[in-house]
Amino acid sequence: MARILLVEDNEMNRDMLSRRLARKGFEVLLAVTGTEGIEMAKTHQPDLILMDMSLPEVDGWEASRLLRADQATRHIPIIALTAHAMSGDREKALQAGCADYDTKPVEFARLVTKIEALLNE
């Protein structure tokens, strides 16, 4: 069973997304801040990370860069989630080392397609 780390500071988004992912059969790990996300990625070695970009403390952009720079976590694909699609966000996310990118509100079916595509690689 694939293990997904969801890094998201908004409680309802976190709850909603994690429950729906769980229903789809994923094992979901939760982190609230960027720092916590990095920590959990190292210790729990998830198969994939869903990273909100506007996080307190270390934001999603920085956290992704750090994860990519670390030998222990660089192999884990990251899907960046941004609150609104600013032009250039996609490029920014790819530059930060994210494998893919999606916008919130999450269109669940589309997100699942992206997750599965990455997991099957």
Partner 1 sequence: MTPISLDVILISLRLSGLLSLGVAYSAWRRRPAAGSTEFALLMSAAAYWSLTYAAGLNTSGMENKLILNQVTYIAIAYIPVLWLFFSLRYTGTAKLSRKQMLLLLLMPTLTTIIIWTNNTHQFFWSNISLQTEGVITSVANTRETWFWIHTTYSYICLITGAYFLLRSLGAGNSSLYRGQAIALAIGVFAPWIANATYIFELFPIRLLDPTPFGFTLTGLAISWAIYRFRLLDILPAARDAVLASMTDGVIVLDARNRIVEINPSAEKFLRDGDSSLRQLIGADASLVLSQWPHVVERFQDVTHAYATAIPFQVGNRTRYVDVRISPIRDAAGKITGRVLVTSDVTSQKLTADLQKAKETAEASSLAKSAFLASMSHELRTPLNHIIGYSELLQEEVEANRHQDLYRDDLQKIHHSGKHLLDIITQILELARLEARMVALNKETFPLSDLVEDVITQIQPLLEKNNSRLGLKLPDDELQIHADLAKTRQIIYNVLHNAVRFTEQGRVDVEVGAQGGMAFIRVQDSGPGIPPERLATIFEAFANPESASRKKTEGLGLGLATAQQFARLMNGEIGVVSKVGRGSTFTIQLPLGVKPKE
Residues forming contacts to partner 1 in the complex (CB under 8 A) are 10, 12-13, 16-17, 19-20, 23, 83-84, 86-88, 91, 104-106, 108
Min dist. Cβ of residue 41 to partner 1 (A): 25
Nearer to partner 1, 67 or 81 (CB): 81
Cα–Cα distance, 98 to 39 (Å, whole number): 17
Both tokens assigned to 10: 């908004």
31, 9 Cβ separation under 8 angstroms: no
Nearer to partner 1, 75 or 110 (CB): 110
Min dist. Cβ of residue 54 to partner 1 (A): 11
Min dist. Cβ of residue 71 to partner 1 (A): 33
